[in-house]
Structure 1
Amino acid sequence: MSTQPSLTLQRRLNAAPAKVFRAWTEPAQFMTWMHPGGADVVRVEMDVRVDGRYVIVYREPDGNEVEVGGQYLEVVPDRKLVFTWVWRYSPEHESQVTLLLEPDGDATWLTLTHERLADEAQCEDHRRGWTDGIDSLERYVA
């Protein structure tokens, strides 16, 4: 039996959970800070509610556009988001992302877990992408 890889990243952000949650769930804000691997978000649609859907289109540095989307499974404002993650180029594989926001004084502990990834290579690609994104988020909300 093979185990599907997962990753967990944690970061203390110098912003209240409500500010971090808005940065993650408001399309205009999300487009401003999310730049994994130097990619730009060129389109984002978010219906942030249980069973709502989202679509994100990234333009990579080489000009190639890639699309990811999914469905929100759990939404707790300012505290938690759980959503599926499906790349358009591999719709047969659905992974899951959990974002937890825990208050820490005037700051927030962010914990991002991405589960059910296809293999170790995809896990490392996503680790790099999420790390880039969280680095940008940290600067954006500071």
Structure 2
Amino acid sequence: MNIPVTHASFSLERRLNAPPSRVFHAFADYESKKKWFGGPPEWEQGESSLDFRVGGRETDVGGPVGGFVSTMHAVYHDIVENERIIYSYEMLLNGERMSVSLTTVELEPDGDGTLLTLTEQGAFFTGSPESDGTQVAGRKEGTGELLDALQKYVDGN
């Protein structure tokens, strides 16, 4: 079966009340990242790992109890401490690949805080022409929610 692919890109920005070093640490340190990166509290956590270095890998598996299983596998391609993180990742739903993306996270000093810009370029396997916009919109919304959780974490709220 030939599954259609939709190519899409989006960028999100957040002004964080923490210096770039604290924001970078929230991505780089496993214990810190687990405090903001993941599904809703009611989700069951599966396999989880972080090898934060160029060539390193990250895995995060989870989902609602008795429901679907969401799997993320990432590879880090470029890391500039306190400035930039570039990684590619695939998302699977119940073991079926939904998308493959390249993500760039840029951190710029902004007064005593940080301007974070996340840009994602993705290939989304849509299943049908009617669903191509929904998956991209859902990814943008979900990524925005993760950035909101990051903001709450680094801002100390």
TM-score norm. by structure 1 comes to 0.86
* CA deviation string 1:1-31 (max 9, x = no partner): x871111000100000110111112121111
**Residue 106 of structure 2 corresponds to residue 100 of structure 1:** yes
- Matched residue pairs, number? 141
Aligned to 2:29: 26
Larger radius of gyration: 2
The residue correspondences of 1:80-91 to structure 2 (distance < 5 A) are 80-88=84-92, 89-91=95-97
Q: Which amino acid aligns with 1:106?
A: D
Tell me the SS of whatever aligns to 1:78.
coil
| Cα separation, partners in 2 of 1:77 and 1:61, compared to 1, 3 Å | farther
Aligned mates of 2:44, 2:102 — CA distance in 1: 20
1:90 deviates by 3.7
Greater strand percent: which structure?
A: 2
Q: Give the share of equivalent positions with the same residue, in percent.
A: 30
- Evaluate the alpha carbon distance shift between residue 61 and residue 20 of structure 1 in structure 2; reply closer, same or farther with a 3 A threshold: farther
Alpha-carbon separation, structure 2, partners of 1:9 and 1:141? 17
Whole-angstrom distance in 2 between the partners of 1:125 and 1:90: 17
Q: Secondary structure at the match of 2:8?
A: coil
Indicate the RMSD between aligned Cα atoms, in angstroms.
Answer: 2.3
Using a 3 Å threshold, how does the CA distance of structure 1 residues 96 and 55 change in structure 2: closer, same or farther? same
Counterpart among 59, 75, 80 of residue 71 in structure 1: 75
Instruction: Indicate the residue corresponding to 1:135 in structure 2.
Output: 148
For residues 28 and 41 of structure 1, the distance between their equivalents in structure 2, rounded to whole angstroms, comes to 17
Match of 1:100, SS state, is: strand
Aligned equivalents of 1:129, 1:39: Cα separation in 2: 16
Q: What's the CA shift for 1:38?
A: 5.9
Tell me the TM-score normalised to structure 2 length. 0.78
Moved more, 20-29 or 118-127: 118-127
- Call closer, same or farther: CA 1:36–1:47 in 2, change over 3 Å: same
CA deviations 1:44-78 (Å, max 9, x no partner) are: 31111111111112333765332101211111111
Residue 128 (structure 2) aligns with: none
Aligned 8 A contact 2:43 2:63 in 1? yes
